[in-house]
Amino acid sequence: MKGAGIGVGVIAGIAVLIWLGTGFFIVQEGQQAVITQFGKYHSTVGAGFNWRVPYPIQNHELVYVSQIRSVDVGRDTIIKSTGLRESAMLTEDENIVEIKFAVQYRLSDARAWLFESKSPDVAVVQAAETAVREVVGKMKMDTALAEERDQIAPRVRDLMQTILDRYKVGVEVVGINMQQGGVRPPEQVQAAFDDVLKAGQERERAKNEAQAYANDVIPRATGTASRLKEEAEAYRERIAAQAQGDAQRFSSLLAEYKKAPQVTRDRLYTETMQEVYSNVTKVLVDSRQGSNLLYLPLDKIMQSAGAAPQAVTDAAARAQSQNAVTVVPATPADSRARDARSRERESR
């Protein structure tokens, strides 16, 4: 009996060791294990080699927490009571738009995912539908289709995360991806709204072209205005300085005139004649013998003989000695004009 008792004890010890060995389990990377004791939550363990009290005292359930999950919202299924698709949403101005998008999420709390909601997947879909209907319900149809279309996804994500956190579903919303044609009007008015969108795009294009033209023209006009203003300022300064110089010169001449009137008058006359005749292309000779005025074609002499200015001066001196006249020399510039005038005088 003693030997039989020892054998039973050994067998029982081995059975207990085997039973305790069933409590070891491995949690993979990206997973969490939720341990329950008599069906109630006990603890959560991360990746690695772990142990728990074997069944039926404790049990564990593995949950993937790093996996990105996705669910589509806004199906084409027709609701019999309304005759509209499930994707139909009512806007603030009592119009209808259809919205399709995909929700990407992952688990943030394994305990909440298992114990706080009876059907967490359904809760995610319902939270997404509630959020998008609230967001679209506060927008007008035109803004939802065009102006604020890109703002729908981030607003839905924020509101959806708020709802899920309120109900402790243990879900983190990663992103909202609008599907192709995700926001669109009903098929009955699709063509009309396409025309509206095209008109809006054409308006934006014309607006951008006008802005580009303004950006090109305005700087040039500003530069031209600045240049004209600077030129006007310079002209004003020049005219004012010239007027001041003329006034000072007149004052100086007046003082000299008071001292010697005749000398000053003759000098002014001589300077004026010199200034006048320096721009004349013809030379007039006054004969002392009472004959008519003679024309001395110095420009023609220079053109035909190619003489230097000194030779022309000598020819004028010889002509003066032969005719006993007074010569007023002119500059050899503009020979072509003087030649034309000489031919006109000869023809007369």
pTM above 0.75, yes or no: no
Distance CA 78, CA 195 (A): 27
Give strand pairing partners of 35: 43, 60
What pLDDT, on a 0 to 100 scale, did the predictor assign at position 80? Answer: 67
C-alpha distance from residue 176 to each of 23, 110, 190 (Å)? 41, 22, 24
What pLDDT, on a 0 to 100 scale, did the predictor assign at position 286? Answer: 58
pLDDT > 70 in the chain, percent: 74
Tell me the average pLDDT of the chain. 77
Own/partner long-range contacts of 328-334 (Cβ < 8 Å, ≥24 apart): 328/273, 328/277, 328/283, 328/284, 329/283, 329/298, 330/277, 330/278, 330/280, 330/281, 330/282, 330/283, 330/298, 331/278, 331/279, 332/298, 332/299, 332/302, 333/281, 334/281
What pLDDT, on a 0 to 100 scale, did the predictor assign at position 244? Answer: 92
Q: pLDDT of 40-55, one tens digit each?
A: 877 788 777 777 878 8
Least confident window among 149-158, 258-267, 294-303, 330-339:
330-339
What is the mean pLDDT of the segment spanning 10-36?
79
C-alpha distance from residue 3 to each of 11, 13, 14 (Å)? 12, 15, 17
What pLDDT, on a 0 to 100 scale, did the predictor assign at position 347? Answer: 46
CA dihedral 13→15→18→19, nearest 10 degrees, is -110
DSSP run (H or E) holding 34: strand 31-37
What pLDDT, on a 0 to 100 scale, did the predictor assign at position 242? Answer: 92
Examine the pLDDT at 339 and tell me if it is beyond 60. Answer: no
Which option is the CATH number for 69-185: 3.30.479.30, 3.30.420.40, 2.60.40.180, 3.40.50.720? 3.30.479.30
What pLDDT, on a 0 to 100 scale, did the predictor assign at position 212? Answer: 92
Give strand pairing partners of 70: 104
Q: pLDDT of 91-130, one tens digit each?
A: 888 888 888 888 999 888 888 888 888 888 889 999 998 9
What is the mean pLDDT of the segment spanning 297-323?
55
More confident residue, 130 or 320: 130
pLDDT band at 303 (very low <50, low <70, confident <90, very high): low
Distance CA 146, CA 82 (A): 26
What pLDDT, on a 0 to 100 scale, did the predictor assign at position 326? Answer: 39
What pLDDT, on a 0 to 100 scale, did the predictor assign at position 151? Answer: 87
C-alpha distance from residue 243 to each of 246, 252, 257 (Å)? 5, 14, 21
pLDDT band at 28 (very low <50, low <70, confident <90, very high): confident
Examine the pLDDT at 13 and tell me if it is beyond 70. Answer: yes
Least confident window among 11-15, 148-152, 172-176, 309-313:
309-313
What pLDDT, on a 0 to 100 scale, did the predictor assign at position 160? Answer: 92
**Would you say 170 and 108 are in contact if contact means Cβ atoms under 8 Å apart?**
yes
Q: pLDDT of 49-94, one tens digit each?
A: 777 878 888 787 878 788 888 888 877 777 666 667 777 888 888 8
What pLDDT, on a 0 to 100 scale, did the predictor assign at position 301? Answer: 61
Phi-psi region of 170 (alpha: psi -120 to 50; beta: other; left: phi over 0): left
Specify burial of residue 125 (Cβ count, 10 A radius: 0-12, 13-18, 19+).
middle
Q: Which three-class secondary structure state does DSSP give residue 118?
A: coil
**For the chain, how many helices (H) and strands (E)?**
10, 12
**Among all chains, which residue has been given the structure tokens 């949950």?**
63
pLDDT band at 325 (very low <50, low <70, confident <90, very high): very low
What is the mean pLDDT of the segment spanning 198-220?
90
**Would you say 307 and 301 are in contact if contact means Cβ atoms under 8 Å apart?**
yes
**Would you say 97 and 145 are in contact if contact means Cβ atoms under 8 Å apart?**
yes
**Among all chains, which residue has been given the structure tokens 């319902």?**
126
Give strand pairing partners of 294: 285
* Exposure string for 202-225, b = 16+ CB within 10 A, e = fewer: eeeeeeeeeeeeeeeeeeeeeeee
Q: Which three-class secondary structure state does DSSP give residue 143?
A: helix
Distance CA 248, CA 69 (A): 96
Structure tokens at 164: 């899920």
